[in-house]
Amino acid sequence: MSSSDNANSAPTSPDALVLLGVSEGVATLTLNRPGKLNALTPELLDILDEHLAGLEKNTTVHCLVLTGAGRSFCAGHDLGALDEQAGQAEREAAIIDRLENFPHPTIAKIRGHCLTGGLELVLACDLLVAAESAKLADTHTKWGLVPIWGMSVRLPERIGHPKAKELTFTGLIVDGRTAADIGLVDRCTTDGQLDIEVDELTAQIVANSAGANRICKQLYARSAQLPRSEALATERLRPFGMPTDTAERLARR
């Protein structure tokens, strides 16, 4: 079954580098290299991109969850695959952009390691939920690398420039509770409650108008790029239209 089919989707092959499941309006993409802590390779990113492209067209999907198989979300880019990355910087950055611009709300479910490239992935999501034991860090400088996927923009957007500089310059690893305290993640819960917390959050999202959520996401993205007065004026122009289910929902009140 294609990820663009208008029906609940069976999980992909358990050997796939990225697992896909669609159920009750929620698509779940799972990075699936648990033996390597889900370290990123060009092939894995290409598959992630293919799934995102398909899910953009799936009219049954109203929310997306991104997570990792096993004990970690993602330990970053596989350093052994850096040679393969040569010449692919623009394409890989575009995949992160595609995740950020996914039409419906996105949630990163984070347990274990979430380092560097993994952190750049979750920063492209709308909402970040972490387990207490999560370990989040930007370790670019540890390896003599510099970001190319948007870290220098999205990290300070989340936590401010001073704190972003501290994390980048030191490579400091923060746990889930600390990440929540500094605004790096939106929610933190116990490891045992992480799945339940995310399930409850997705249920709250899909219970609302998918069209309204989609338009509100576009408005938030637009407002981040405009001066305040222009953003206010733009909202009133309704540039993205109105949800198709407004009348139906009002009739049920």
Instruction: Average the pLDDT over 48-68 and give the result.
Output: 97
Answer yes or no: is pLDDT of 84 > 70.
Answer: no
**Residue scoring higher pLDDT (248 or 124):** 124
Q: How confident is the model at residue 59 (pLDDT cuts 50, 70, 90)?
A: very high
Q: How far is CA 229 from CA 12, 25, 224, 235, in A?
A: 46, 35, 12, 10
What's the pLDDT score for residue 82? Answer: 66
**Residue scoring higher pLDDT (213 or 12):** 213
Instruction: Average the pLDDT over 2-9 and give the result.
Output: 44
Answer yes or no: is pLDDT of 5 > 50.
Answer: no
What's the pLDDT score for residue 80? Answer: 74
β-strand pairing of 135-137 with 174-175: antiparallel
Under 8 Å between Cβ of 69 and 149 = no
Residues 6+ apart with CB under 8 A from 124: 96, 97, 99, 100, 106, 150, 154
Please name which of 18, 19, 60 lies closest in space to residue 43, comparing C-alpha atoms. Answer: 18
Kindly state the tokens that stand for 250: 């009002």
Report the chain's terminal Cα–Cα distance, integer Å: 37
Answer yes or no: is pLDDT of 2 > 80.
Answer: no
What is the per-residue pLDDT across 193-208, written as a single tens digit (0 to 9) for each?
999 999 999 999 999 9
What is the per-residue pLDDT across 86-109, written as a single tens digit (0 to 9) for each?
668 889 999 999 999 999 999 999
Residues 6+ apart with CB under 8 A from 238: none
- Three-state DSSP string of the chain: CCCCCCCCECCCCCCCCEEEEEECCEEEEEECCHHHCCCECHHHHHHHHHHHHHHHCCCCCCEEEEEECCCCCECCECHHHHHHHCCCHHHHHHHHHHHHCCCCCEEEEECCEEECHHHHHHHCCCEEEEECCCEEECCHHHHCCCCCCCHHHHHHHHHCHHHHHHHHHHCCCEEHHHHHHCCCCCEEECHHHHHHHHHHHHHHHHCCCHHHHHHHHHHHHHHCCCCHHHHHHHHHHCCCCCCCCHHHHHHCC
What is the per-residue pLDDT across 153-187, written as a single tens digit (0 to 9) for each?
999 999 999 999 999 999 999 999 999 999 999 99
- Summary mean pLDDT of the chain: 92
The fourth-level CATH superfamily of domain 18-206 is: 2-enoyl-CoA Hydratase; Chain A, domain 1 (3.90.226.10)
**Residue scoring higher pLDDT (1 or 24):** 24
Answer yes or no: is pLDDT of 4 > 70.
Answer: no
Kindly state the tokens that stand for 26: 């929620």
What's the pLDDT score for residue 7? Answer: 42
Q: How confident is the model at residue 83 (pLDDT cuts 50, 70, 90)?
A: low
Report the distance separating Cα 9 and Cα 11, nearest Å.
Answer: 6
Every domain of the chain and the residues it spans: 18-206, 210-251
Q: How far is CA 72 from CA 23, 105, 119, 186, 226, in A?
A: 23, 22, 12, 18, 37
Instruction: Average the pLDDT over 56-71 and give the result.
Output: 97
